[in-house]
Amino acid sequence: MHPQPVNALTTAENQHVSLDAVRTMVSACIQCGTCTASCPNALEMDLTPRKMWRLVILGRLAEVMASRTFILCSDCYTCTLRCPRGLPLTTAMEALKGIAFARREARHRSSRLFYETFMQTVRRYGRIRELAFMTRYFTAMKNPMAPLRFAPLGMKLMGKGKVEMGSGKSGETPLHALFDRVAALDRTSLETAAREGHR
């Protein structure tokens, strides 16, 4: 059993997580709006990426955490490729997810549990196993209505043979060592970025 956090998204140990590291990543933003114009998910976001970076630079943690913008980022890297300042915007979006999850923000609870249980399943089996993943997720949600919401989609996927039943054909290849190594590397890089932000 490995009940500890599964990746850098949840490695912070308390709720006093600051925006320092992310602010360092986007501090050279010139507010040109290219990231917003390039983002395929911007129309669904409550704050555009450009506004999000402005709030980060201003250190407005509560407003940033209240947004679903970083949750809706699908890591497509388009903004990162197109930003004229060459800023690591996708990494910054992921770092915001990490802060929200580490702070146990109530608004992002279901997203956090989804990420955590997904990654716990990959860590345990070396791949995703749909039934094991959904069982973990529904248990973590502690909401008896949650399975009902997913039932139509689940039935559809099962009908198309997209859900592997039972333990599946492939063996288990646990990835505990790999996950631990990545978490350590991410922790180091966030600490370095935060230190540089204080210089």
Binding residues for ligand SF4, rule: CB under 6 A, are 26, 29-35, 38-41, 49-50, 53, 73-79, 83-85, 87, 89-90, 93
Query: Minimum CB separation from ligand SF4 for residue 93, in Å?
Result: 5
Cβ proximity to ligand SF4, 12 vs 89, nearer residue: 89
Residues 109, 162: Cα–Cα separation, whole Å = 27
Query: Minimum CB separation from ligand SF4 for residue 80, in Å?
Result: 6
Cβ proximity to ligand SF4, 108 vs 136, nearer residue: 108
Query: Minimum CB separation from ligand SF4 for residue 34, in Å?
Result: 4
Cβ proximity to ligand SF4, 39 vs 102, nearer residue: 39
Cβ proximity to ligand SF4, 77 vs 150, nearer residue: 77
Residues 100, 39: Cα–Cα separation, whole Å = 21
Q: List the alpha helices (DSSP H) in the chain.
A: 20-26, 34-38, 49-58, 61-66, 69-72, 78-82, 89-102, 109-125, 130-141, 146-159, 176-197
Distances (CA, A) of 109 to 40, 72, 112, 152: 24, 14, 5, 23
